[in-house]
Amino acid sequence: MRLEPIAAPSHARTLVPPAIAIAATIAVAGLLAALAGANPLQTFGLIVKGAFGSKFAALETLNRATPLVFTGLAVAVAFRARLWNIGAEAQLYAGALMTVLIGTQLGLPGPLAIPLMALGAVMAGALVLLGPVLLKTRLGVDEVVTTLLLNFVMALFISYLLEGPLKDPMGMGWPKSPSLPRDARLPRIVDGLRLHWGFGLALICAAGVWLIQTRTTLGYEIRAVGANPQAARFAGIPVTRVLVKTALLSGGLAALAGFSEVAGLKGNLTTDLSASFGYTGIVVAMLALLHPMGVVISALFVAGIFVGADSMSRAAQVPTYIADLLLACALLFMVLAILLTRFRVVRG
């Protein structure tokens, strides 16, 4: 058996496999729900209702999607250049740390502090990815390994800070940082609704990344380096410099997730600030086929499943693990389906 590329796929070719993938995801997840002793249809109904069924639920989903848009964009940007950034988690924490440092230590007024916090976060995240990319371009060190391992380094470093120098004296012994002053928090988009401007910033970033990729020379260079580094180098594209720029952009985007979580939602830094948003960003980006606008939709989908599953589990006694399974199935089936829209399987 082998795969044969399809020159010009028909509409049916491009639509049917993804539809089957969705159906298969639902079927598998339904089977698992049934195994857990629940009615599959009811379970799905509860998930959808829990994610989008009320104003409160929908806002919760949007809040949950916000960091995923940032990390999803970070991964999408890097993967487009074939820079395998698995370290969005570390970059997120670097951003969160810088946000807290600037917000609590400098004593600046809010209107000045917030932009400075965002800028500092971006630079910190970019810096965290700069090391691995320089090791890659100079010495050929595999960035999958370095970025992945930096996640643990960063987690332990944050843990050390929160137990030590950055520990909140008013925190009653909990390992958490001091809280940002009121005026250094991101305002809500609409008064009275629990949705902060981090979500707005995420949408702006998605549009910005899309503009960069389609309209600017940098975006063109990033795509060229990712699609064929040898041809890019031959044509005169400075491959190393493009990879470094990509890393700065990607690390900065991931760090904004940390900034937005701290300044928009939590107000302080804890070791559980991120619910694996950095890793989930990879799923978000892959489901979106690395398209920046697709990242927004896919982040909403993923966030909806998590939020919906939480609420469903309270109502139907099905473990929340079903959210992870749903996502895993969705990703596997969708990747396979996308492959089948472009290739056909032939024997011999």
Partner 1 sequence: MPPETTAQGPVLRLSGITKRFGQLTANDGISLSLARGEVVALLGENGAGKTTLMNILFGHYTADAGTVEVMGQTLPPGQPGAALNAGVGMVHQHFTLADNLTVLDNVLLGTRPLLSLSPGRGAARRKLAQLAQDFGLAVDPDARIAALSVGERQRVEILKALFRDARILILDEPTAVLTPQEADALFDTLRRMLAQGLSVIFISHKLHEVMAISSRVLVLRHGKLVGETATDATDRHQLATMMVGAEITAPAPAEARPGETLLKLDNVSTARQGNRPGLQDVALDLRAGQILGLAGVSGNGQGALADLLSGLESPTQGTLTLADKRPDAWSPRTAVALGIGRIPEDRHKTGTIADFTLTENTVLENYATTARGGWMNWRAARTATDAIIDKYDVRCPGPDTRIRLLSGGNMQKLILGRVLEAAPRIILANQPVRGLDIGAVTYVQEQLIAARDAGAAVLLISEDLDEILTLSDSIRVISEGRLSPEFPRGTKTPTELGQWMAGQGFDHAA
- Contact positions vs partner 1 (CB under 8 A): 4-8, 215-220, 223-224, 227-228, 230-238, 344, 346-348
Decide whether 169 or 234 has the Cβ nearer to partner 1: 234
Q: How far apart are CA 227 and CA 224, in angstroms?
A: 5
Distance in Å, CB of 206 to partner 1, minimum: 19
User: 326 CB contacts (<8 Å, ≥6 apart)?
Assistant: 25, 29, 305, 309
Q: How far apart are CA 265 and CA 58, in angstroms?
A: 16
Distance in Å, CB of 5 to partner 1, minimum: 8
Instruction: Enter the tokens of residue 127.
Output: 């810096």
Distance from the first to the final alpha carbon of the chain: 6
> Could you identify the residue written with the tokens 């928009």?
264
Distance in Å, CB of 14 to partner 1, minimum: 15
Decide whether 7 or 190 has the Cβ nearer to partner 1: 7
Q: What is the dihedral of CA 265, 267, 271, 275, to 10 degrees?
A: 0
> Which of 80, 85, 94, 81 has the alpha carbon at shortest distance from 147?
85
Distance in Å, CB of 252 to partner 1, minimum: 17
Q: How far apart are CA 3 and CA 346, in angstroms?
A: 6
Decide whether 49 or 233 has the Cβ nearer to partner 1: 233
Decide whether 52 or 220 has the Cβ nearer to partner 1: 220
Decide whether 109 or 238 has the Cβ nearer to partner 1: 238
Distance in Å, CB of 345 to partner 1, minimum: 12
